[in-house]
């Protein structure tokens, strides 16, 4: 579905005359492969290059070195650019700055309109996408009257209406309250499980990655760790070094383990911890 | 609440005028404005008044709402009438001190006043019965022939609708920045006019920066959703004429015909 080979991206800063003032390597030699139908997460603190990486999947940025293939299409090839953008939809961080329409249904229809879909089919797509994120009853509302989580669900519907094979979530929950965060993550998981859409979630909230099939941790433009959430969260100390917190339950289990309690590594939720402690007693 | 402001002054209800195609309403409003300037006699204004009254009744908008929009032009109306009354040369009616009031002056002043009132009422009926969205759609479609002259019609209407979408957001943001600056001791309310204008700088700078950032984000989001200008774009809500729209065009044409005839005959 998505293949990244030795991707390097440099931001070049220029002074007023256009001379190169400095070069900042945001992404540094990244290799990555995502299979169809997977739910993967990319973790990293601010400035680790994760958002820059994500913008390559949608042909919003182009590699300085290396190649990105989306569904077999090279993003560098200017003929492919619209197919790439249609195949890999993107949900951004700020809910206000990505809604174009003044009415919810019109915003969802914006993508299909751009693709030149016939009118009747646009309406079908809008209806089905709004139902998929549970926002159908708000279709006539103004986006200004919705909560942050609802706005993000509208943005997701706008992407689904383009029938993408893969959706990239670029820190979709960073500006939301806990309830809004849950709403968005639930919507993303449902799309992955029910519709089989490949999901790439970029975030710095640890709690959100525990459902993914694979986690990549980025630091200074490089991928420093990868594996299943359980494998990643077993390495609490290394994560701390990268300035990433682990979920509280995992941390608690880790501390208990350090004090000599014999429970397994990489505990992800409360139930697991309770079961582990129960099992230990007997 | 700031976010509840409506632009234009759309009045939500279901009437024949509301359901008309926006293009018809724009054209009819233009026809009406033109018609006001081709006649200058009593019968003509009577017909114009009848047409306006019919439109008000059909629109189901309470007259109170329509005349609320008039408040803004009281001053303009007064100035126009006063100037025309006193400064038109002609047969003197009466005069005191240095001021002469002429017969022609009275006639022109009354005419201008009536014209202005009709003009504003007529165009507010259009904005009251048409959402800003429909208005931009209608304008885009009406201006379509201008594309041949390389006028960026689609871009203009896209800009208009994005502006409409972001005005409430930026208003809210202004409010937030204002409060933030006030919490830091900024004073927006006292001092001379110049001082007050100067005190707006700490408000405007962050507002502009944030607006540019939003524009950047929005452009990226639009590109990510395959936006590439008006070429090859389909419409979710295309404008389609119905029988009632053609009927409305006929009515507007007939009205214009009658007005021109009245203007010539009398």
Q: What is the ipTM of this complex?
A: 0.86
Nearest CA in chain B to A144: B3
Question: Do A99 and B232 lie within an 8 Å CB cutoff?
Answer: no
Residue A110 CA to residue A196 CA, distance in Å, equals 23
Helix (H) or strand (E) holding A3: strand A2-14
Confidence of residue B3 (pLDDT cuts 50, 70, 90): very low
Look at strands B92-96 and B99-102 and give their pairing. Answer: antiparallel
Task: Compute the nearest-CA separation of B249 from chain A (Å).
Answer: 26
pLDDT at B96: 73
Nearest CA in chain B to A126: B236
B220 in A contact zone (CB under 8 Å): yes
Please give the average per-residue pLDDT across B30-46, as a whole number: 88
8 Å CB contact between B262 and B44 = yes
B212 in A contact zone (CB under 8 Å): no
Residue B233 corresponds to which tokens in the numbers above?
A: 């774009």
DSSP string, A34-45: E-TT-EEEEE--
Task: Compute the nearest-CA separation of A126 from chain B (Å).
Answer: 10
Query: Which residues on A lie below 8 Å from B233 (Cβ)?
Result: 113-114, 116
Please give the average per-residue pLDDT across A83-107, as a whole number: 90
pLDDT at residue A147 greater than cutoff 70: yes
pLDDT at residue B5 greater than cutoff 60: no
pLDDT digits 0-9 by tens, A54-86: 999 988 999 999 999 998 889 888 888 888 999
Nearest CA in chain A to B221: A98
Residue A37 CA to residue B242 CA, distance in Å, equals 46
Please give the average per-residue pLDDT across B119-139, as a whole number: 86
Closest Cβ–Cβ partner in B133, B227, B238 for A114: B227
What is the CB-side half-sphere exposure of residue A34 using CA atoms within 13 A? 31
Please give the average per-residue pLDDT across B144-162, as a whole number: 88
Question: Do B234 and A123 lie within an 8 Å CB cutoff?
Answer: no
Domain count along chain B? 1
Average pLDDT score, chain A: 88
At residue A130, the 3 state secondary structure works out as helix
- Chain A residues contacting B via beta carbons under 8 Å: 58, 60, 82, 85-86, 89-90, 92, 94, 96-103, 105-106, 109-119, 122-123, 126, 143-145, 158-159, 162
pLDDT at residue A167 greater than cutoff 90: yes
pLDDT digits 0-9 by tens, A179-207: 889 989 999 999 999 889 999 999 888 88
C-alpha angle A200-A206-A210 in degrees, rounded to nearest 5: 65
Q: Which domain holds residue B174?
A: 2-265
What's the 3-state SS for B132-182? HHHHHHHHHHHCHHHHHHCCCHHHHHHHHHHHHHHHHHHHHHHHHHHHHHH
pLDDT at B217: 92
Confidence of residue A249 (pLDDT cuts 50, 70, 90): confident
C-alpha angle B32-B36-B41 in degrees, rounded to nearest 5: 140
């Amino acid at each position: 579905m998505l293949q990244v080979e030795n991707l390097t991206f440099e931001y070049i800063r220029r002074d007023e005359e256009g001379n190169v003032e400095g070069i900042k390597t945001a992404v540094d030699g990244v290799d990555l492969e995502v299979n169809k139908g997977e739910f993967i997460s990319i973790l990293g603190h601010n400035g680790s290059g994760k958002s820059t990486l994500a913008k390559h999947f949608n042909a919003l940025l182009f590699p300085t070195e290396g190649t990105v293939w989306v569904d077999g299409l090279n993003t560098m090839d200017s003929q492919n650019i619209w197919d790439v953008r249609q195949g890999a939809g993107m949900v951004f961080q700020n809910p206000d700055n990505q809604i174009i329409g003044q009415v919810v249904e019109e915003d969802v229809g914006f993508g299909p309109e751009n693709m030149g879909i016939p009118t009747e089919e646009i309406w079908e797509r809008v209806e089905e996408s709004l139902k998929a994120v549970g926002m159908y009853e708000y279709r006539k509302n103004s986006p200004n009257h919705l909560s942050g989580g609802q706005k993000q669900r509208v943005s997701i519907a706008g992407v689904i209406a383009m029938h993408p094979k893969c959706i990239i979530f670029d820190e979709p929950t960073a500006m939301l309250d806990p309830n809004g965060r849950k709403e968005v993550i639930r919507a993303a998981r449902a799309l992955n499980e029910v519709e089989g859409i490949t999901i790439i979630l970029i975030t710095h909230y640890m709690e959100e990655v525990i459902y993914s099939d694979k986690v990549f941790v980025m630091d200074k433009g490089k991928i420093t760790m990868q594996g299943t959430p359980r494998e990643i969260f077993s390495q609490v100390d290394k994560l701390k070094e990268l300035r990433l917190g682990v979920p509280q339950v995992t941390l608690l289990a880790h501390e208990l383990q350090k004090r000599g309690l014999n429970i397994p590594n990489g505990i992800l939720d409360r139930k697991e911890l309770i079961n582990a402690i129960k099992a230990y007693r007997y | 609440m700031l976010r509840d402001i409506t632009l234009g002054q759309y009045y939500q209800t279901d009437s024949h005028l509301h359901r008309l195609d926006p293009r018809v309403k724009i054209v009819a409003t233009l026809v009406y404005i033109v018609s006001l300037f081709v006649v200058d006699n009593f019968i003509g204004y009577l017909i114009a008044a009848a047409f306006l009254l019919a439109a008000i009744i059909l629109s189901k908008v309470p007259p109170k709402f329509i005349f609320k929009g008039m408040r803004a032009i009281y001053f303009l109306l007064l100035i126009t009438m006063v100037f025309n009354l006193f400064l038109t040369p002609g047969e003197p009616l009466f005069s005191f001190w240095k001021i002469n009031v002429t017969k022609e002056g009275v006639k022109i002043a009354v005419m201008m006043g009536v014209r202005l009132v009709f003009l504003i009422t007529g165009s507010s009926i259009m904005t009251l019965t048409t959402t800003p969205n429909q208005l931009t759609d209608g304008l885009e479609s009406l201006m379509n022939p201008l594309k041949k002259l390389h006028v960026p019609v689609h871009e203009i209407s896209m800009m208009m609708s994005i502006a409409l979408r972001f005005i409430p957001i930026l208003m809210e943001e202004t409010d937030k920045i204002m409060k933030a600056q006030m919490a830091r001791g900024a004073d927006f309310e006292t001092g001379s006019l110049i001082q007050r204008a100067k005190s707006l700088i700490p408000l405007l700078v962050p507002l502009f920066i944030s607006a540019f950032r939003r524009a950047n984000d929005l452009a990226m989001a639009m590109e990510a959703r395959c936006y590439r200008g008006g070429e090859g774009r389909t419409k979710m809500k295309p404008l389609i004429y119905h029988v009632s729209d053609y009927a409305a065009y006929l009515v507007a044409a007939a009205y214009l015909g009658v007005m021109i005839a009245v203007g010539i005959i009398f």
